[in-house]
Structure 1
Amino acid sequence: MDGPAAAVQGTWPVLAAAVAAAVLGPLLRTAAARADAAQEQALTAGATAARAQARREAHHRFQDLLHDEVSSALRAVSMPGIATT
């Protein structure tokens, strides 16, 4: 091939790469920013869920302790012959 066809054949990969970079660059940056935001949101939600679970577990442990200790103390006080002090 000679002339314009040879010139286009040699330069089209360079032009195609430049166009692809110009179009794909911003799209990839936007997608990366969205992925980062989604990951941050997931981490925040996980941390919030972990705090809520820890609060529930602590409350449950407190209720167990309160139930066991108070019940034992009331039973001991109600038994005849046990000093209330």
Structure 2
Amino acid sequence: MWPGSPAEDFMYQFKGTCYFTNGTQRVRLMARQIYNKEEILCFDSDVGVFVAVTELKMSSAKSWNAQKGLLAEYQAHVDTLCRHNY
């Protein structure tokens, strides 16, 4: 193993989940980052911003929330991914 490389037995996941209420009238996208079975960052389309769940991702959430194009892209996923695949 090289110095500074991650441990061989770590787990990183990205989970995107669409929640539908009353058909496609109310659609909510939850995009989560999970590291070693612990949620570290979340985008909730109802809130419209990235929310850091742990101290580790506070700076990432702040940086990503400053990028209006990135927020608009994630918000657009409600229509392009969720509603489209309903």
Same fold (TM over 0.5): no
Higher share in helix: 1
**Which structure has the higher relative contact order (CA within 8 Å, separation 6+)?**
2
Q: TM-score, normalised by structure 2?
A: 0.21
Q: Which has the larger radius of gyration?
A: 1
